[in-house]
Chains A and B, each alone.
Chain A
Amino acid sequence: MIRVVLTRFAWTLVILLGVSFVAFMLMRALPGDFAIAAAGSQSVSPEVLDAIRRDLGLDRPLLEQYFLWLGHALTGDLGRSFVTKQPVLSELPARFVVTFQLTLIAAIIAMTMGIATGLASARMRGRTDWFVRIYNGLILAVPNFVVATLIVLLAGLYFPQLSIFNYTPFLSDPIANLGSLLLPAFSLALAVSVTISENTRAAVLEISSQDFVMVARAKGLLPRTVLRNYLVRNALTPIITVTGLQVASLLGGSILVETIFAIPGMGQYLFDSINSRDYPVIQAIVVLAASVVILVNMLVDIAYARVDARVKA
């Protein structure tokens, strides 16, 4: 078990390095001049631009720039925002915590709804199955920003007391904070829950027809024992897989949802930074988001080994 964890962790570090490299180079490959963006205006004299270039190290070779950036990043310096002139790290952690909260709540909602509807669909079949599958198809067909906008609209019209655009920080009022995140988390979770539901359904159906389930029933075990130890425990591997993969789409979705619900998280920060071409911030967020996805995948790999003894290293 410890070997599994260590191997995965070593790989994670290698992948993270690659991701940061790609993110850095992509930023440099974008059209537009860094120096102009940093200056904040088109009408700056060439001398000033040159000074900015020297200051930011833009006059050096790309590879050198990357290692400089990496060195700074590893020592906790992600550069300064072009817009606020403040260090990126003075704003990013607070933003990250908000998004972390939002995606965590969304993941919990998505897993609960997805596994419950998937299980019900596979076990009861008939009308329940029908209903769940039509619902899943419908939700899957509608993009989540439409769902989020509709929720904002309906909540605003019929439940004005919900005060949707009123984000309350966790530290000032935890309960109000949870309340202000519930609707956004729900609209973020919907599409993901459908994917989990479909996969749960398929996994449970496939496992239902396995011989060992027949053996379990021939033992005279209670239906709940068969369900828990034989069906769900075996269906868990594919469920964990999709859930892990969906974390990336939760993070992506948070950009839209945070913008629509006016939540001061990382997604909204990224959206604003892209609008104002605030490259240092964009780069920091891309690397951070990629790290989260990779870390979650590492956790998924470790979870496999815990659920299924056949998975080793």
Chain B
Amino acid sequence: MSDPTLILRVRNLTARIATRKEEIHAVRGISFDIAAGEAVGFVGESGCGKSVTARAIMRLAPEGTSIALGGSVDFMGQDLLQLDEKAMRDLRGRRIAMVFQDPMTSLNPVMTIGSQIDDIVRRHTELRGRAIRQRTVELLNLVGIPNPERRADNHPHQFSGGMRQRVLIAIAISCDPDLLIADEPTTALDVTVQAQILRLLMRLREERGMSLMLITHDFGVVAGMVERVNVMYRGEIVESGSVERVFAEPAHEYTRALLHAVPRLDTAGRVL
């Protein structure tokens, strides 16, 4: 890689999803960079290919489908699309981690919260025995779970949605990843909890100097969170630039439409 400060360099990425019935060109040749410690937003309506882009980087296809990938995903000097599944598994969760959209369904209901953090710590670190649980409790504390020692033995159904998302963030940062992909991390949460989770993500990113790829359909979420933003539409990046620039003078028609779709408080409404 020419630029050592770049952590991710995606070139001409394509993703075709093959289900039993049809084939969808979900991502049509997109290119972007993410620098070390940088936060980049991906904005677009649902179905625009932003989640597929995230899954493509992780090389995770949903059960029962297969994704054909093209182009290159250069992650710290190695092309992820060329790695075999075993090497990919060693990398997932350790160097690239992901936070998913729906915390209510993202935790295993029959395992305790603690053991779901224990297993990733055991998989990717040298820690063994009681040191694992110590690390788990530390992580729960870090993401703001009160009484972490006791709560680690609870099951997911004893946690609220916001608390579960904190647990999923604890899982994601457990092995100090270089890149954290957050795919609509606040969409399923109510507004006050959304702000807490976003603040937590910001704090962790600053403390650990990790890069953040924040995927959302909500311009309001990216505004305070990222330096640069890529606007996606129908599998392509239609506009990219600094958040200030894209907000102030959107170049693409779609970006303007998307910005318009955000309800605003400063323009007078009309009484229906």
A: which residues have CB within 8 A of B?
Answer: 125, 208-222, 225, 229-230, 233-234, 236, 307-310
Assess the B100–A215 pair: CB atoms within 8 A: yes
Given contacts A220-B123, A234-B109, contact A209 B62 (CB under 8 A): yes
Given contacts A220-B124, A225-B123, A310-B155, contact A212 B106 (CB under 8 A): yes
Q: 3 shortest A-B CB distances, which residue pairs? A: A220-B92, A220-B93, A219-B93
Q: Contacts A213-B63, A215-B106, A229-B108 known; list 8 others, CB within 8 Å.
A: A215-B107, A218-B58, A220-B120, A221-B123, A225-B123, A229-B119, A233-B110, A236-B110
* Chain A, Cβ-Cβ closest to B155: A309
Given contacts A220-B120, A220-B124, A221-B120, contact A208 B64 (CB under 8 A): yes
A229 to B156, CA, bound (A): 15
CB of A213, distance to nearest CB on chain B (Å)? 7
Residues in chain B near residue A215, CB distance under 8 A: 100, 106-107, 168, 171
A–B complex contacts, Cβ < 8 Å, 30 sampled? A125-B64, A209-B63, A211-B102, A211-B105, A212-B108, A213-B63, A214-B63, A214-B106, A215-B100, A215-B106, A215-B107, A215-B171, A218-B100, A219-B92, A219-B93, A219-B123, A219-B171, A220-B91, A220-B93, A220-B120, A220-B123, A221-B89, A221-B119, A222-B89, A233-B110, A233-B111, A234-B108, A236-B110, A309-B155, A309-B157
A213 to B63, CA, bound (A): 9
Residues in chain A near residue B108, CB distance under 8 A: 212, 216, 229-230, 233-234
Q: Chain A: interface secondary structure? A: helix
B18 proximal to A (CB < 8 A): no
Assess the B120–A219 pair: CB atoms within 8 A: yes
Could you count the A-B residue pairs with CB atoms below 8 Å apart for me: how many are there?
A: 82
* Chain A, Cβ-Cβ closest to B120: A219
Assess the A212–B107 pair: CB atoms within 8 A: yes
Assess the B97–A218 pair: CB atoms within 8 A: yes
CB of B271, distance to nearest CB on chain A (Å)? 42
B98 proximal to A (CB < 8 A): yes
CB of A294, distance to nearest CB on chain B (Å)? 26
Assess the B63–A208 pair: CB atoms within 8 A: yes
